[in-house]
Amino acid sequence: MAEKLKVLFLCTGNACRSQMAEGWARHLKGDCIEPYSAGVKPAGLSRRAVAVMAEAGVDISQHYAKHVNDLRDIPFDYVVTVCDHAHETCPLFPGATRVVHVGFDDPPQLAANTRTEREAMDCYRRIRDEIRTFVDGLPGNLEARDGD
């Protein structure tokens, strides 16, 4: 059996997008990917992200925000930056680690302009579904973006 790809999903706060990506990767691609998530400035796990993932049948309630340095001893095959800030401030990784950028809109920022909780949750649902589509195409999506 081939060794699983070690993939780190990196965001600013590791509160939402990177957590959803890790959850989807575990759920959809656990047979070929060993997913992780972290942030460059970790914040608490988003309750809305937990809720929309639970709606989709993926439990991320036990996840917690981690700093990228907490995972420095893991030899990642890929680091996927899921927000522009993380992409711009992504630390250097040793060895053959490849960094690819797949930017997704920021659900908390989108939700800030809504009038109701339902509208706010719809922002999170949209990003959740976009992340699922990306993750569902792994590992091919990584190879196609390598070098971007």
What CATH number should be reported for the domain holding residue 30? 3.40.50.2300
Does residue 82 lie within any of the structural domains? yes
Domain count, the chain: 1
- Residue 1: is its pLDDT beyond 60? no
pLDDT at res. 39: 94
Region of poorest pLDDT, from 4-8, 27-31, 89-93, 117-121: 89-93
Does residue 147 lie within any of the structural domains? no
Q: How does pLDDT run across 89-126, given as a tens digit for each residue?
A: 777 777 788 999 999 999 999 999 999 999 999 999 99
Is-cis flag, bond preceding 139, omega within 30? yes
pLDDT at res. 144: 64
- Residue 148: is its pLDDT beyond 80? no
- Residue 132: is its pLDDT beyond 90? yes
Q: What is the pTM for the complete model shown? A: 0.93
pLDDT at res. 14: 93
Does residue 144 lie within any of the structural domains? no
Cα separation values, 142 from 6, 103, 138, 139, Å: 12, 13, 6, 5
pLDDT at res. 78: 95
Task: With CA atoms as reference, report the closest residue to 19 among 40, 41, 2, 35.
Answer: 35
Does residue 118 lie within any of the structural domains? yes
Positions marked active-site: 11, 83, 90
Does residue 15 lie within any of the structural domains? yes
Give me the domain span that covers residue 47. 5-137
The answer to whether 74 and 63 are in contact (CB under 8 A) is: no
Does residue 56 lie within any of the structural domains? yes
